[in-house]
Amino acid sequence: GARPIAAVSKKEVMTVEESSRQNRRKAPEQRRQYPQRNMIFRGLALFAALGVSSLSVASAATTDPTGTDADDQKILRIPLHKRSKHEMVAQYLKKERDFLLSKLDGAVETSESIGLPVVAGAVQRRTAAALRGSGDDDDGGKDENVIIKDYANAQYYGTVHIGEPEQEFTVIWDTGSSDLWVPRKGCQNCGYCLPFTENTSVCKDKYDSTQSTDFEEDGSDFAIQYGSGSVTGFFSKDTVTLAQDIAVKSQKFAEVNDALGMGIGYVMGKFDGILGLAFDSIAIGGSTVFGSAIEQGLVKDPMFAFFLGDEGDGELTLGGYDKSKFTGDLAWVGLQKATYWQVKLDGAKMGGFSTKDTNCIIDSGTSLLVGPKSQVAELASKVGATQTPMGQYTIDCAQVDSLPPVVFTIDGKDYSVDGKDTVIQSSGLCLFAFMGMDLPEGAPQWILGDVFMRKFYTVFDQGNKRIGFAPVA
């Protein structure tokens, strides 16, 4: 989907201009490697075009996980491109229109058939399938399905390379799942390529195993069930390269041959696949890319960190964290269990609303704040937000500046997000960034997505099974 982003070696930092020039020279050759024949979503081409980012190298001074300086060779920073608020609102309006048309036609299931996640029944079926067995201990977690949300709302994307020579893909770096999957050559329902969509995200990049000298056949089945259908394929092994310098050998990943279950959100989304950053215990393939990088000694420390730009791009640091991205000290919180990045949530409050003790996961692959339906409905009512027929909430734009903050209490410490930052505003429409979702018993009850992570630099310490938070600089 994305225009290629030239990677930078550990010893040489490439300017944005140099990177862009190389991208333009490289793009036609790469596009020819991944032809796409599927054109079932004609007319959606103008919804997507992905900008070009550059890649830089970060570093650290000691072997202790204390942050990064400018001279280390084993800590990398990967840029994350941010989808604009205008695009999110435009997609919401399209989904609303499709939903209302389906109601008028007496065919409510039409919205679900194209993967619209906000229909209540679709959400319940998706999450029930996605979180089966999520109450199990770590030893029994490998049969869990890891998709706990819909990627149609995802905002941040980066690149990964697979194979030798490298084939580039735009992926969601997702702490709410554990597997890596990308579409394979010949994949059905994986966007479409036409001359006028060739350099847009509607035209997904496809993995071609015949072009890689490092390819190893595996063949075991891969499947994730969504409310509207399944995403299916099979596992293979190849070299997965992070920022070009971190080459993870013989990494198991999924080649998807049918992405119908992702629905319209996938076609319109600015990503080709998903790279999961949760734990091996819930990986369908049994191992994660970052876990393998740790085992192969390719990163300085067994941790990674997210900085999500508020009105711009973000950055993912692998092998450590970047002290320049936050203020004060990191507050460390131990995980409840090493499946998702799940911690105890002492409570949440906003205006006259408050919750009791519960739990939550910190999820880079979800843009919104997600909680139980009844609690989110109560919260929305307290602040004057109105639920749409699709289950999302809108609020009068005139009220935005007067909204109270939402406060999440984690390990006895309050993390406050200003009320105005819980609204996605564009073209006179204000989306309230909360969504109600009833997850199965034993599953995480709240999902703190990008709305939360934009305000707090977040370090995921896999080695010590903890998360660190600090206000962004």
Active site residues: 174, 363
Contact 254, 233 (CB under 8 A): yes
Q: 121 in helix, strand or coil?
A: helix
For residue 247, give the nearest of 292, 304, 183 by alpha carbon.
292
Q: What are phi and psi of 294, to 5 degrees?
A: -65, -50
For residue 159, give the nearest of 331, 374, 361, 8 by alpha carbon.
8
Q: What share of the chain is helix, strand, coil (3-state, %, to 5)?
A: 25, 35, 40
Measured distance CA(61)–CA(75) in Å, rounded: 10
Residue 43, CA distances (Å) to 83, 196, 336 in order: 20, 11, 46
407: β partners = 349, 416
User: What order of strands is seen across the sheet that includes strand 353-354?
Assistant: 353-354, 347-350, 406-410, 413-417
How many other C-beta atoms can be found within 10 angstroms of the C-beta atom of residue 228?
23
* DSSP annotation of 404: P
Measured distance CA(133)–CA(197) in Å, rounded: 41
224: β partners = 231
Which residues have a Cβ under 8 Å from the Cβ of 167 and sit 6 or more positions away?
A: 30, 33, 34, 161, 205, 207, 208, 211, 212
How many other C-beta atoms can be found within 10 angstroms of the C-beta atom of residue 333?
19
Measured distance CA(19)–CA(55) in Å, rounded: 8
Measured distance CA(452)–CA(367) in Å, rounded: 9
How many helical (H) and strand (E) elements, i.e. helices and strands, does the chain have?
A: 8, 28
How many other C-beta atoms can be found within 10 angstroms of the C-beta atom of residue 210?
8
Residue 246, CA distances (Å) to 48, 54, 62 in order: 29, 17, 19
Residues shown for the chain: 473
Residue 180, CA distances (Å) to 156, 160, 222, 297, 397 in order: 16, 10, 11, 20, 39
